[in-house]
Structure 1
């Protein structure tokens, strides 16, 4: 049975944001999905059908990734990305919200919980970006050089999509052409590299402990035991800094939990949402 989905671009906060909305006529709760760095809604393609059995789902391509616009004017800070998601939710008039963020998307979720705590009933953080510092000043200054975006493109090309997937997945046998092409597609045009240059310039650093301590929203943290990008000790520290959280570590898993362990992630989410 084909899944019902409404897709489109919505002009919000001076940029066109791509979204996928999966309705559920039997549930008033909506799960908002926010992906990680160099990713898009594609990363949730295995998790969405599972969540949609019980909840409405709204997956957002955070600018400049996926099918969202790449702008020369937009500010790609976490705070502005959070405000963009907030305005998109207000536009759709959604209530009873659970935010789910993977990697960088987790940091955007934390910014939303900080900026507008009343918006979320609860949140799920999958290997969430945490405690990363602001870009160093020499890099920020260098980002203003003409054609710096070509250096960004060269850097990404050197590592390559397959190598990045090998770094984020514990089980390399899952890597196939569909996965490689899905992650490669948004990077076939040069506009993304110009926008990534602006993101390097605008990234203000992750929320500090003193801010995290004030977030009261119930949070479920799910981590991969073999996460190389954000090791488990990051999740343990985040669990200590958030006053209303619990941490689950999945064995034989890496950073890309939505790819690697969608059923286990869904099981833990459902249990969490049933009691929180």
Structure 2
């Protein structure tokens, strides 16, 4: 008989930006989970109870997303998001944690490891892009995938669905519906979160990462999969693992495989 999965707890944590929403499950060594744009803790809704059977798993709503506070657009940066995540750790009296990020969350996780190395016991970068000067130039001023102007007839919701649909499993309307809910909640941040990633000077920061690192590649994610080897090569001693069927929504697309990859890595290094 399998043990009953731990219940998910919800709370708000005070930070210098305002209250950030957090969902958690389980007890033990803390594992901080950071979501992609424009998602929320819900991206890890099915991962939390799995990790929570062995760890204290915590999924944070980044400022501007989910149920967290909503600073002005110009106040957002990867560095600020990393700082706020560390503030949450401080408030929860967590000295050191494993940090797991997906897409945007992976970039924020990388910055936490670079800026506060003593707080990161292990790092998992899932579907992490490589953002350097060439990529910033190539994407400067271009429309992001979630930049869909609001229309009175609601047609923007169909357009947003259709723009994301090719990167989701065929016929999985539940995953896309969860995405749409988070995108509506995020409002302008649904697009601006991608700009925040674009503005990050990753090439100046990635070399500072010293934590044991797993680079987790989603094999069917055309936005991030091509960068997996480059990310792994830039972080000394890192390990690259590919989940071949993984797509853009990998944590909620395949939570069991995602959680297992994270736990197997953490058992080796923590």
TM-score interval (norm. to shorter): 0.7 to 0.9
CA distance in 2, matches of 1:180, 1:137: 25
Q: Secondary structure at the match of 1:36?
A: coil
Q: Is the 8 A contact 1:10 1:18 kept in 2?
A: yes
Q: Cα gap change, 1:96/1:197 in structure 2, threshold over 3 Å: closer, same or farther?
A: closer
CA distance in 2, matches of 1:137, 1:131: 10
Superposed, which structure 2 residues align to 1:1-276 within 5 Å?
1=4, 3-24=6-27, 27=28, 29-72=29-72, 75-131=75-131, 133-134=135-136, 139=141, 152-153=149-150, 157=157, 159-161=159-161, 163-164=163-164, 166-169=165-168, 171-173=169-171, 175-177=172-174, 179-188=175-184, 192-195=186-189, 199=193, 205-231=199-225, 233-276=226-269
Runs of 4+ in 1 over 6 A off after TM superposition: 135-138
CA distance in 2, matches of 1:243, 1:129: 17
Q: Secondary structure at the match of 2:11?
A: strand
How far residue 239 of structure 1 moved from its aligned partner, in angstroms, is 0.5
How far residue 22 of structure 1 moved from its aligned partner, in angstroms, is 1.8
How far residue 210 of structure 1 moved from its aligned partner, in angstroms, is 4.5
Q: Secondary structure at the match of 1:258?
A: helix
- Higher mean C-alpha displacement, 195-204 vs 254-263: 195-204
Q: Cα gap change, 1:202/1:100 in structure 2, threshold over 3 Å: closer, same or farther?
A: closer
CA distance in 2, matches of 1:211, 1:273: 23
Per-residue CA deviation, residues 198-254 of structure 1 (Å, 9 max, x unaligned), is: 6577556334335312311111111111212213x2011001001121101122322
CA distance in 1, matches of 2:148, 2:100: 32
Per-residue CA deviation, residues 73-119 of structure 1 (Å, 9 max, x unaligned), is: 77110000110101011111013410000000000000101110110
Q: Give the TM-score normalised by the residue count of structure 1.
A: 0.82
- The alignment's C-alpha RMSD in Å is 3.0
CA distance in 2, matches of 1:261, 1:135: 33
Q: Is the 8 A contact 1:213 1:242 kept in 2?
A: yes
Q: Secondary structure at the match of 2:208?
A: coil
Where does structure 1 lack aligned partners over 5 or more consecutive residues?
A: 141-149
Q: Secondary structure at the match of 1:66?
A: coil
Q: Is the 8 A contact 1:125 1:220 kept in 2?
A: yes
Q: Secondary structure at the match of 1:272?
A: helix
Per-residue CA deviation, residues 5-57 of structure 1 (Å, 9 max, x unaligned), is: 33122231222211112232xx2x11100000111111111211110110001
How far residue 197 of structure 1 moved from its aligned partner, in angstroms, is 6.8
Q: Secondary structure at the match of 2:14?
A: strand
Where does structure 2 lack aligned partners over 5 or more consecutive residues?
A: none
CA distance in 1, matches of 2:260, 2:196: 36
Q: Secondary structure at the match of 2:58?
A: strand
CA distance in 1, matches of 2:10, 2:52: 15
CA distance in 1, matches of 2:14, 2:32: 18
Q: Is the 8 A contact 1:70 1:195 kept in 2?
A: no
Q: Is the 8 A contact 1:121 1:217 kept in 2?
A: yes
Q: Cα gap change, 1:202/1:102 in structure 2, threshold over 3 Å: closer, same or farther?
A: closer
CA distance in 2, matches of 1:56, 1:235: 27
Q: Is the 8 A contact 1:30 1:55 kept in 2?
A: yes
Q: Cα gap change, 1:248/1:58 in structure 2, threshold over 3 Å: closer, same or farther?
A: same
